[in-house]
Amino acid sequence: MKPMKFLNVVLLIFSLALLNSCQALKYKKVSAKDYPPDPKLRVKKNMEEGRGWRLMDTIDRGGGKFDFASSNPLWRATLDTISFMPLMSANYSGGIIITDWYSDNSDKNESVKISIRFLSNEVRSNSLEIKLFVKKCLTSNTNCEISENTGSVVKELNKSILRKAAIYEKKFKDKNNKEYIYTETPSEKN
């Protein structure tokens, strides 16, 4: 046998052995009780479980819409909550938002800075790590002292973000779980 043919046979056998151990190719026992007999209900169940797809779903949305932020309600709610502050850094892939120093002009010698780290994409109370820093200066921007504030402001900010994120998540789920309308083709009616 030529070396190339031998190598091809060995690679084929090796590939088949690897594919044989894949879970996707293994036979799974299914019960008819798990699947409704009505095709409309089967389609609806598959869509809810994320097993189906809609061919013409993008018609309603319009084209050219880049919506990664709207698919992550926690990120979007955080940006909306701190939108009054200038951002120093917002790194979606790194999961961190850092604001610049902000003062509301009531006290020019005091300003705040917020750092928000995303620990998870889930809307939960422990998904965010929020740090609030306060800078107090004796004179304008000289002789300043920076300290971390862990008081009620951080808890209120966390609550506000989570409240908005829960609303965004509910709206997103409602929008994507539209009732799938199944229509019979003429061949199915007969």
Question: Taking the domains of the chain in order of start, what are their residue ranges?
Answer: 70-176
- Spatial separation of the C-alpha atoms in residues 6 and 35, rounded to whole Å: 47
Q: What pLDDT sits at residue 62? A: 46
Say which residue, 57 or 176, is predicted with more confidence. Answer: 176
- Spatial separation of the C-alpha atoms in residues 171 and 96, rounded to whole Å: 24
Read off the pLDDT band of 132 (50, 70, 90).
Answer: very high
Q: Determine if the pTM surpasses 0.75.
A: no
Read off the pLDDT band of 65 (50, 70, 90).
Answer: very low
CB 126 within 8 A of CB 119: yes
Say which residue, 155 or 46, is predicted with more confidence. Answer: 155
For 70-176, CATH gives 3.30.530
The mean pLDDT of 112-116, rounded to a whole number, is 94
